[in-house]
Structure formats: structure tokens, C-alpha cells
Structure 1
């Protein structure tokens, strides 16, 4: 069968494959349990059962070897030789069975490694016997030589108890632990019989005996607690017998009363009869427990076979039924999904972008017309389609409401900003009138401060206008010298006294960009002053470059990290859409919008002095280069974009004939005096001043002899009065010059 949608076909096929794989995994897990049980039974027959008699014979050989070293005699030697023969016979059977192919297939890598270690240790039995026969080993060393071989067999047991059935595995581990406890008792018996046969305990023997007694009791108690209930009862019955209790008493007598190199409180015969009987009884109990464990493993195997039949047979039937059902329902599913996909793509690629574009252009959108409901039926796919209808209606309605909200917020911001701007203009006009008629220096100083605050308020109002997407409506018809543009920006900065203006040359700025550039520079200078220590200064300099005019604003603050600099430059170069959540760094947003309006490039970089340098590159079409007549403007500017009042700057002939704002005491690097030709005037109609041009020769010659420190005796109050008088005279001169120029124009 063929599906029209290849992805759906792939997914259905993947679902069927995964279902088949899940069935195969379940069948394999069940089968693996049965295989593991079969392998365990193989290892039990080929390794575990043959090793049990081998352990018993090795323990007996160890006991007889210690007795021969303790009390050498022909009889002891004969008994040891007979025991070694029995051990060799059992060992040969063990090696034959353990080396079979079935064992090699059934054994895990870990079990193979332990089995090989045990076989290597058993091969070293001949070398240990030679050392014992030459009597180079004492009783403790003799027992340890065979104990190492026995321990390798028990380590082999440890790697065989990892079965999948938790209960069977836990019982197997408990059985191995009880066998280890019996081994501790066998070591204790061999050591005690050797010492008692010699008639005394050596200091090392008595210490070893005490350790073995403690370990054997602790190991036995711990292992019994893990045994099944039946095996626990059998061991407790054994522990309650008189023989077992008598062994405990003799252990206590030897550990508490025996003294090295003296006659022990227990005879060799007493110990042998009791200890050998307990060892035999414990071996019989362990045999019964092992047989019960094998029986339980067999029952588990039967359950595994039943689970294999259920998981394999019934699971296979379920897989086949799933395949048939998937194929019969795939066609209808594909058709419904294709219809739903087409509707979703139409909404995402056509309708929703179209609605957003129309909203951006200010058009009204009807949500019901733009989001008609789609019919998908009443089944599950139909319910998804109904949910999709709700989603598309909500998406379009949200886009409409969001656009309306943004436009309303922008209109509110623009209305408030325009009102504030109008009030500030009226306030500045009133301040100008007050400044003209005020002659008192103190009152005039306060008026200048109020004038400066109002100018800063005007900049904040213009920020709101820029954020709302409109123009601040401050404009000049004629070009303005660049130094006056910078000074106009300083008039809108709070800490203008910390700003040093470097020489700007004779370059001017086209009138249509003066207002926005003043605003842009004011924002950057304000940032530079705000983010630098109060004892530092900010330098503003400019020069003509190949592509226009570059202004640099450098502070001596803490600077910005490279990541912050990159982020700020990206924000300036590509300003995002303004939204209410982006309240941080609104100044950079205003700068980016003003720069975008005139093609100005603004970038930030690290200053070599540790702060930040802002570079403002004015395009060449906005720059009136050196040598051009700055008094010639760029023509009339649209009246609707002119503000009711402009900053009265030097070189702005269209400025209102009114007092300028407070003269900013900005430290400016002086330029060398340039002699001007006779009858040359400034754009405002004032003659150029040539230093010492009108001085008498005697005064000019004695200028160098004047005391440069004469003004050091003046008080700050005297200096303030002098500056106030200078400012008042400057204002009057400018007003008179403007009046005369206007009268001259009227006469013509």
C-alpha cells in the first residue's frame, strides 16, 4: 500500500518497528533468564558440585599437614599420604569437568577469570606439599599455604551468584557465605589441633586462633541472618545441640585462659571429637540448604518458560494485530492531517503576516473575516482542528489588540511630550524676557540656572517625541559652526562644567541637522558624565575626516566590558522596535533613532585611559567644510518642523534676537589667533577681534611685563561679578547687532 504522505508513512513504519523491537526485547529478556538459568545449572554440574568434595579433602589435608608439622611421626606421615591421594583423585575429577566445553560456553568472563585463578592455585599444591615435607614451614605457615588454595575456590563462588531472580541470587549468596563461615571453623580446627598436639600455643598461633574465633562467629551470625527461614531454623537447631555448645565453651577457654608456651586448658582429644562433629553437622546442613536452593531455581526456571510462552506467543499476536490496524487507519489519518497542515501553513505564511502588515500601516482588521473557522469533522482530528480554529482567532485578535495598544501608547507619549515641549518653550521665552531686564548679578545667575534646567527638561520631552516616532520639531535654516553645536549640546547637560571642548576648526553643520545632532551629542555627553567619577573630565573633540566629520566624546570612567560594548553598538546600528519592556538604556535608543534619521554613524569603543569613547561620524553631506561661508544657510527649512524657540548659538543667524542661555563656562582649548582682513565680520554681524590690534605701542611692548598673578588676589565673588557683567554686555551687543542687521535688511 502507498501513502500520499511519506512522513506519516515513515512514522507509522517506525511505530511498528519499535513495537516489534519492544516485543523482541521482552521475549529476549525472558529467554535470557531461562538461558542464564540453564548456564547456571551447567556450571553447577561442571564446577560447583565437583568443587564441594575437593574443598572437604583440602580442609582435611590442611588439618593433617598441620598435625604432621606439630608432632612428626610415621603414623602422621602415613595418614597425610593417604589423604593426599584422596585429594589428588578428587582434584583430577574437578579439573576434567571444569575444563569441559559446556563450562566454557556457560561461564561469564568474570567467572572464567576466577576459575582460571583457582586452577592455577591448585597446580601450586605440589609445591606447597614439598615445602611442608621439608619442614621449612611452621604450623601457621603450613595452614596458610593450603588456605590460599581454598580461598581461590571461594572467590570463584562469588562470581557465580549474579542471577536475574533476586530471591534465588540472594539465597545463593547466603549459602556461599555459610560455606565461608564453615571454612573459618575449619581453619580454626586445624590451627587448634596442631597447637594442642604440640602441647602449647606459640604467641603467633594464639593470636591467630583468637582472630579466627572472632571472625568465624561474626561471619556465622551475619550469614544466618540472610538465610531463608527454613535454613535459619535448621542452623538454630544445630547451634542448640550440646556438641555445638561444648565447642563454644572450649573456644572461650582457649581464647581467655590459654597462655603462650604453656599447657592449654583443653586436650587435643577433647577438641578433636567436638570440632570434627560440628564440622560434619554443618557440612550436612549446608548440603540440605544447597539442595533446597537448586529446587527453588528449578521452580524459577519453570516460571521463566511460562513467561516466555506468554511474551513470545501473545506478544507476537499483538504485534501482527497492531500492524493490520495501523495500515487500515493510515489513509484517513493522512488525509485529515494534510488538510490541517495546509490550513496551518496558510495562516502562518499568508493570513497572519498580512494582518500584521496591514496593522503596521494603520488599517483596521476584522478578526472574524480574517480567521474563518475550518471544518475537520467530529473525531479526534476534528477536535484538534477546532482547537486550531481557536488558536488562529486568538492569534489574530492578540495581534490586533497589541497593535492598537502600541499605537495608543505612542499617541499618549507624543501628546504628553508635545504639551510638555510647548510649556517648556513658553517657559524659556519667559526666562529670556526676565534675563534681559534683570541687571542684578545674583538674580541673573539664578535665572540662568532655571534656564539650564528648562533646557534639560526640553531634551527629556524631545526624547518622548523620538520614542513615539515623531520629529522633535527643532530646526535651523542656516548652517552653524560645529563648536556652537557642541556648546548647544553642553547647555542640555547637567554637569557641563566637567566637559572640556577641544578645538573644532572652522567646520560647520547643515542647519537641517543641527537640532538632532545637538540632541544626540547631549545624550552621549550625559552618559559620559554620568558614568565617570565626579573628579574626572570628559573631552569632546572633532576633526574633518575623509567621509565627513568625526566627533569623539571620551570619558575617564570604569569603562564597559567587550560584551557590553558589542551589545551597545549593535543596539545603535540596528535599533529594535520600541516596546514598553525595553526601559533600560533608552538614551541609546534615542541616539540610534536620531542617527538613523540623518545617516550618522555612532559607535562605542574602549578608551586607552580606561573609560569609553563614543565616535560620532557625520556624513559629508551634512558638513560645511573649512573655507565655506558659514553664514550662508542651506535654504529655508519647512516651517512645520521649526520649534517655537531655538537655542541662540554663535553663528546661527536665524536665532531669535533674544538673550542666549547661560554662558557655559566650558574649558575650551584656545585656538591660536588668526588675523582677519579689514572690514570682515562674523555671521552675526560683529567684527572679528584681532588680539592687541588697537593697543598703543607702549602697551603692546610692555604686555609681557605684566604680572600674571595680579588676578590671584581676586575673590570668587569679584570674578563672578566680572563674568556677570561680561555676559550682560555680550547679550546686549548681540541683540543690538541683530536689530541693526534687521533694520538694514528692511531698508534694502
Structure 2
């Protein structure tokens, strides 16, 4: 898989390396045969020829040694002369075998056997001293020389290394014939020593018989393995007079019935039979070796021819292949790079440019944006032509896609505007119905419908934001920050779980009020949706060095660091809205609203385990108490609907602990936050000005939300009971009634939780 994904250059280089490796292997195999011929010549001149001379001298010294030990009174002049000749041959062998050519050409096996042979030669002086000092018998002296001779033949076994099977077989056959001659020399030395001593012991006759049998077997097997021409020569030699007489004498010795006595033949008779036989056999072996060299000449010529073909012509073919491959690969790579650059230009420059221009409302000429590229008439050119079609189709598709997305945005914007208009009319109608309704149960349902409609308006504004437009809600004057937060809570389903901390005397610029209310509503809705229903969400704000910071903290499970980083990235750098992606639309709306006014929104982990959203309003959007005094009409009044909603929050929330008045937030209508309701519209007459807490929450005025008929004094002028005169039983009943109403209110609030929608 890794090679499949490699570049064209890598693949071409790999192919060329494979070709070079194949040529190198073929050249090495051929060169190895040529080197083998060279090494054989080195072996012959440095090992074989000097060892043949040394072998003959060792055989002669062995015979003279055992003869001298058999007749101690005989003159040893011939033995001393032979020892000198043997030492000269041994020195010559050492010089040539340890020379640079042999050591360079020899393998580990041949080097080890040459070293072993030299160690055996180095032991000759010790054996000679034992013989001269009378500390060795004929058998030991005989064996010591035989051991040295065996080391020579083990060296020969390492020389038959020609790769030609026929030549190597013939070489091993000649070595076997030479071993047969060595066996003949061994039986000659053994019997010559016995004849010199005047007696042939039982063990010597048994050993003589054994050597004769092995010698005849080796010679017969070697002759059979020879080529036809050489086999005929050795067969004639075997039938000749010398070998016939030698076999007769061997039979006479082996069949002698006088063990331990004098052999049945004389020393001269035996010497006259063995010397011609050994000489004729040595001559036949050397002539067979010469003929083997002649047969290897064609083999050497064939090796040289293969070397030339595989080495020279193969090298020329490899060089030509490399040149052709490199030039072809370069042309191919240039065309592919041109095609790649065109594709990257289309993906990174032209298509984004076309989409950007389409987003700005410009018209795009597809032919001008996708000019055809000429890549030639070959296969790459055909691919280039296909790419021309691809890029034209891609740009045309981008144009059509941009037009389709713009059409979808226009449709969404149109539907959102219509929905926003209908919801606004619905809220206006609900306001009128709420003002004239006096039944608490009906008024409660109207408040719930009013709250649902307010949330529907926020959803409609979400569509407007997603379509790239701006909602129509705007304020001319600044609005207190606490009222902005209250307006955001009016668009949140589970507003009773939100605690608003003191905001200070800070106001928000009117041009940003609507978008900030929307932004806060999305974040607060997300906080209450992703936290347990028994927890509270805190909203607080304070003036900071760079503006005004609002913090929305929940007590939920929180987000992982990776999710927080991803969410902050989406808010800070909102991506292009994709109609196919519906996840986290609230974050997209928040990012667009924040981007419109330079507001910085970030999410961080809360120390309570949840998530804290920090909204930093820039300095130019906020005004402290000394900068500007908002008009009285910008403070939302507590109309009948709001007061009734607050009654639900305070009294109608069952199964929950009573909350302090200053921590419970009323449900204002964000759309009507800056719209003062005419005081004359209230049936109960002018509403006294409300007093507010430091956090902006109004103090509750007793009986301010009662109907006019209920607010009148009871007939009969009955005075209300003094609270100090109430009995403990009355107080218990009042508190029990309060708790019962609290449980009913909480039950209703729990039902309302199931009707909410997740905006994030």
C-alpha cells in the first residue's frame, strides 16, 4: 500500500533500481564464473603444482624411512638426501600457498586446509628426530608420513570448485585416481620395510591386504567415472605388463602361508614391479589432467562470452533504459505537475473566488472562469481534457449551488419575516386580551400562550439570522442592563430556574439591545437545557476594563476540553452556514449576533462542574450611570401580565422551597421592553411609581394586581383583623394554605418544562 501511494518519481526510481539490481545479479553470476576460472588458475599454480611435487617427495621419504628402520645397518645417505629434497618442496609450497594471490582467492575452507597441511609439514622434523633416535617404530613412522600426505589430499578436495558440473566431476575423478596411486605408494612402503627387516608380521600382512583392496577399489571406481577417452587409456594401463606383474606379486604376498616369516618375494623384485607401475600411473594422471584443461577451454570461452553479454551489453541496455525512463518520467511528471497545479488553482483560488463573488451578488461567466488547458494528445492530454470538463462542471455546479443557497436563504428570510409579523400581531392581541381579562385561571393560560409566542418569535429571528439578515427589533435609546437580561429571560422556557445577580447602574446602547437580548436568550436557554432540573443558573454582570462582562453559569455536567475548544472556535470564527448541518445552530446564531456588534463570547469550565459563558460587551455599547440617564419609558413597567407571571413564580411553583423576592425574575416581554404601556389603560387608575431593588427588581406592592372590585373596601366597614391578634391555629392555616399553593404552582411549572424547545 505504501508503494502504491508513492510518487511517480519514486516508482520510476524503484523500477530502475530493480533493473540495475537484476543486471548486477546476472553480471555477478557471470563474473563469478570468470573469477572461478581465474581462481582455479591461481589454485593450480599456487597449491596444486607445488603440492604434487611435495606429495611425490613425501612418498619417497616415507619408503626410504621405513626401509632404513627395517635395516638399521644400511647406509642412510639416500634418506638424508631425500629429506633435503622434501624440505625444499615444502618450503616452496609454503611460499606459494601463503602468497597474496592464493590467500585472496581462497575461501575459508581452503585456507583452513592449507593451514592444517602446513602444521603437518612443520611436524616432520620432530618425526624424523624420533626415527633417528630410535624412539619410533616402523608403524608409527609410516603413519606420521601418511597423515601428512592425507592433509595434502584434503587440500585437493577444496580445489574442485568449478561451477561447470562436468569439469568439476572430472576433477574429482582425477583426485580419486591420485588417491589410488597414494594407496599403491603406501603398500609399496609397507612391504619394502618388511622386506628390509627380513620378516612380515601378521599385522603388517593384514594391513597390506587391506591397503591393496582399498587401492584396487578406488582405482576401479575412478576409472569407471572417467570420460570415455580417458577410461580407455586407464583400462589399457591396467592390462599392461607393469600392473599385471604388480598384481601377481600382491596376490603372492597376500596368499603367503608363513605369517611372521620372510615374504615370498625379494626386495628388488618388489621394487622392480612397483616403480614402473607408480610412474606409469602418475604419468597417466598428469596426461588426463592436461586433457581436462583442454576441455575447460571452451567452458572458459563461454564464460567470457556470457560475461561480455551480461556485463557489457547488459550495462548498455540498463543505461539506455535509465535514460529512456528518466526522460519519460520527467515529461510525465511535468504534465502531472501542470495538471496538479491547475487542480489546486481551481480548488484554492477560482472556486472560492467564484463563490465569494456569487455571495456578493455578482454574475459569473463559466467559460471565462474555466478556460480549457492544453496537455497534448497523449494519455495525459486525455486526462487533462477530462479535467477541463471537470473544472467547468465544478464551477457551473458552484454557481448553481450558490444560487440555490441564496434562493433558500431568501425563502427562509421571507418565511421568517412573515412568521415574525404574525407572532408580533399575536403578541399584540394577547396583550389586549390580558389587559381586559380578570379571571386568574384564564389570565394564567394567556400568560403561558404569551410566553410560547415570545419563544416562537425568537425562533423566527433565528431563521432571520441564519439567512444572513438582521431582525427588525431596534431601540432608539439605551436600556438598563437588568432590563436587557429580563428581556432575554422572557424568551427562555424554564426562566424560573435562573437567578439574576446585581447588574449595577449600567445601560446598553439601543442599537444593540435586540441582538444582545437574543444572544443572551440563546445562551441562557442552553444553560437551563443542559443542566439538571433541580439546579439553578446564575446570570451576573459587572463593568470591566474593556466594557461590560455578563456571565452565565450552569451547574450541569459541563463540556470536555476538546468540545470547549471547538465551540469557542466556532463562536470566534463562524464558518459558512451549511444547510445540511443542523447541529449546534444556537452557536451559529450566537456567533453571528456577536460578530455583528464586536461582542466577544467564550465558554469555559465552571468550578462547579458545569459551563460558564462569558459575554464581553465592548466599551462603545455600554453606558454607566454617569454617562447617560435612560428615559423613564425604557424601564419596563410591571403590567398586569408581568405581575401575574410573577405571582406564578412566587406562589404557584409547587414542591419547591420558597425563594426570596429579590431572586425571582418576572417574565417580561422582550419585544415590549422599551414600549411603555399607557397608564390610563389600567382599569384601576394611575399606577403608583414602583420602587426598585439595587439589582433592578421592583418591590411588590400589595393588592396592586387585584381587580378594581376586589380592591374596594368591604361593605359594612369591617376592619381587618390585627395580625398581632391572630391565634397560632390561624397562622398555621395561613402557612398551610401558602404551602399548598406553592405545590400547585410548582406542578404547573413542571408541566411547562415539558413544552420547551432546545435552541442550542
Contact 1:435 1:659 in 2 (8 A): no
Residues 512-523 of structure 1 mapped to structure 2, 5 A cutoff: 512-523=511-522
Aligned residues: 492
Structure 1 partner of 2:316: 316
Structure 2 partner of 1:306: 306
Structure 2 partner of 1:73: none
Q: 1:689 aligns with which of 688, 691, 697?
A: 691
Contact 1:510 1:622 in 2 (8 A): yes
Contact 2:370 2:391 in 1 (8 A): yes
Per the TM alignment, residue 597 of structure 1 is displaced from its structure 2 partner at its CA by 0.9
Q: 1:349-390: CA deviations, max 9, x gaps?
A: 886565334312212333235435456664556534433431
Residues 630-649 of structure 1 mapped to structure 2, 5 A cutoff: 630-632=629-631
Structure 2 partner of 1:610: 609
Structure 2 partner of 1:595: 594
Give the 3-state SS of the residue equivalent to 1:583 in structure 2: coil
2:434 matches 1:435 = yes
2:635 matches 1:651 = yes
Contact 2:507 2:630 in 1 (8 A): no
Give the 3-state SS of the residue equivalent to 1:494 in structure 2: coil
Q: 1:378 to 1:701 in 2, by over 3 A?
A: same
Separation of aligned partners in 1, 2:605 and 2:17: 62
Q: 1:607 to 1:336 in 2, by over 3 A?
A: closer
Q: 1:546 to 1:369 in 2, by over 3 A?
A: closer
Structure 2 partner of 1:29: 25
Give the 3-state SS of the residue equivalent to 1:489 in structure 2: helix
Q: 1:338 to 1:540 in 2, by over 3 A?
A: closer
Separation of aligned partners in 2, 1:582 and 1:627: 46
Per the TM alignment, residue 310 of structure 1 is displaced from its structure 2 partner at its CA by 4.0
Q: 1:490 to 1:386 in 2, by over 3 A?
A: same
Structure 2 partner of 1:455: 454
Give the 3-state SS of the residue equivalent to 1:618 in structure 2: strand
Residues 701-720 of structure 1 mapped to structure 2, 5 A cutoff: 712-718=735-741
Per the TM alignment, residue 596 of structure 1 is displaced from its structure 2 partner at its CA by 0.9
Structure 1 partner of 2:649: 665
Q: 1:10-38: CA deviations, max 9, x gaps?
A: x9999999887665433322223345567
Contact 1:478 1:652 in 2 (8 A): no
Separation of aligned partners in 1, 2:676 and 2:436: 26
Q: 1:546-592: CA deviations, max 9, x gaps?
A: 22111101112222222222221111111111112432211111101
Per the TM alignment, residue 474 of structure 1 is displaced from its structure 2 partner at its CA by 1.8
2:585 matches 1:562 = no
Bigger mean CA offset, 416-425 vs 495-504: 416-425
Contact 2:30 2:307 in 1 (8 A): no
TM-score, normalising length: structure 1: 0.51
Q: 1:511-542: CA deviations, max 9, x gaps?
A: 22121111111111122122222222211111
The structure number with the bigger radius of gyration is 2
Contact 2:9 2:333 in 1 (8 A): no
Q: 1:315 to 1:519 in 2, by over 3 A?
A: same
Separation of aligned partners in 2, 1:455 and 1:486: 15
Contact 2:16 2:322 in 1 (8 A): no
Per the TM alignment, residue 409 of structure 1 is displaced from its structure 2 partner at its CA by 1.9
Q: 1:475-524: CA deviations, max 9, x gaps?
A: 22332222222122122222222221111122222222121111111111
Residues 113-512 of structure 1 mapped to structure 2, 5 A cutoff: 306=306, 309-310=309-310, 312-317=312-317, 319-320=319-320, 323=323, 354-373=353-372, 378-380=377-379, 382-512=381-511
Give the 3-state SS of the residue equivalent to 1:432 in structure 2: helix
Q: 1:431 to 1:312 in 2, by over 3 A?
A: farther
Give the 3-state SS of the residue equivalent to 1:536 in structure 2: coil
Separation of aligned partners in 2, 1:688 and 1:98: 125
Separation of aligned partners in 2, 1:45 and 1:547: 97
Structure 2 partner of 1:745: none
Contact 2:559 2:610 in 1 (8 A): yes
Q: 1:326 to 1:486 in 2, by over 3 A?
A: closer
Q: 1:370-429: CA deviations, max 9, x gaps?
A: 435456664556534433431331222122112112112212222222232233223323
Q: 1:26 to 1:409 in 2, by over 3 A?
A: same
Per the TM alignment, residue 593 of structure 1 is displaced from its structure 2 partner at its CA by 0.5
Q: 1:90-130: CA deviations, max 9, x gaps?
A: xx99999997756764689xx69x9989989x99xx9xxxx
Contact 2:437 2:443 in 1 (8 A): yes
Contact 2:466 2:589 in 1 (8 A): yes
Q: 1:333 to 1:493 in 2, by over 3 A?
A: closer
Per the TM alignment, residue 660 of structure 1 is displaced from its structure 2 partner at its CA by 7.7
Per the TM alignment, residue 316 of structure 1 is displaced from its structure 2 partner at its CA by 0.8
Contact 2:420 2:457 in 1 (8 A): yes
Structure 1 partner of 2:4: none
Per the TM alignment, residue 631 of structure 1 is displaced from its structure 2 partner at its CA by 3.2
**What RMSD in Å do the two structures reach over aligned CA positions?**
6.3
Q: 1:362 to 1:590 in 2, by over 3 A?
A: same
Separation of aligned partners in 2, 1:560 and 1:508: 32
Separation of aligned partners in 2, 1:585 and 1:361: 26
Q: 1:709 to 1:401 in 2, by over 3 A?
A: farther
Contact 1:34 1:305 in 2 (8 A): no
Separation of aligned partners in 1, 2:451 and 2:608: 30
Separation of aligned partners in 2, 1:554 and 1:104: 89
Contact 2:30 2:310 in 1 (8 A): no
Per the TM alignment, residue 338 of structure 1 is displaced from its structure 2 partner at its CA by 11
Contact 1:569 1:604 in 2 (8 A): yes
Give the 3-state SS of the residue equivalent to 2:357 in structure 1: helix
Give the 3-state SS of the residue equivalent to 2:389 in structure 1: helix
Separation of aligned partners in 2, 1:14 and 1:422: 66
Separation of aligned partners in 2, 1:629 and 1:45: 115
Give the 3-state SS of the residue equivalent to 1:551 in structure 2: strand
Separation of aligned partners in 1, 2:700 and 2:442: 36
Q: 1:326 to 1:508 in 2, by over 3 A?
A: closer
Q: 1:311 to 1:42 in 2, by over 3 A?
A: closer
Separation of aligned partners in 2, 1:388 and 1:598: 44
Give the 3-state SS of the residue equivalent to 1:552 in structure 2: strand
Contact 2:477 2:634 in 1 (8 A): no
Per the TM alignment, residue 322 of structure 1 is displaced from its structure 2 partner at its CA by 7.0
Give the 3-state SS of the residue equivalent to 2:649 in structure 1: coil
Contact 1:336 1:376 in 2 (8 A): yes
Contact 1:31 1:304 in 2 (8 A): no
Separation of aligned partners in 2, 1:597 and 1:434: 36
Separation of aligned partners in 2, 1:450 and 1:524: 23
Q: 1:39 to 1:722 in 2, by over 3 A?
A: closer
Q: 1:38 to 1:702 in 2, by over 3 A?
A: farther
Give the 3-state SS of the residue equivalent to 1:665 in structure 2: helix
Contact 2:537 2:553 in 1 (8 A): yes
Contact 1:559 1:606 in 2 (8 A): yes
Contact 1:355 1:396 in 2 (8 A): yes
TM-score, normalising length: structure 2: 0.51
The unaligned stretches of length 5 or more in structure 2 are 1-6, 48-90, 123-153, 166-294, 651-658, 664-674, 678-686, 694-698, 703-720, 747-760
Structure 2 partner of 1:541: 540
Contact 1:500 1:668 in 2 (8 A): no
Q: 1:423 to 1:13 in 2, by over 3 A?
A: closer
Q: 1:487 to 1:19 in 2, by over 3 A?
A: closer
Contact 2:27 2:311 in 1 (8 A): no
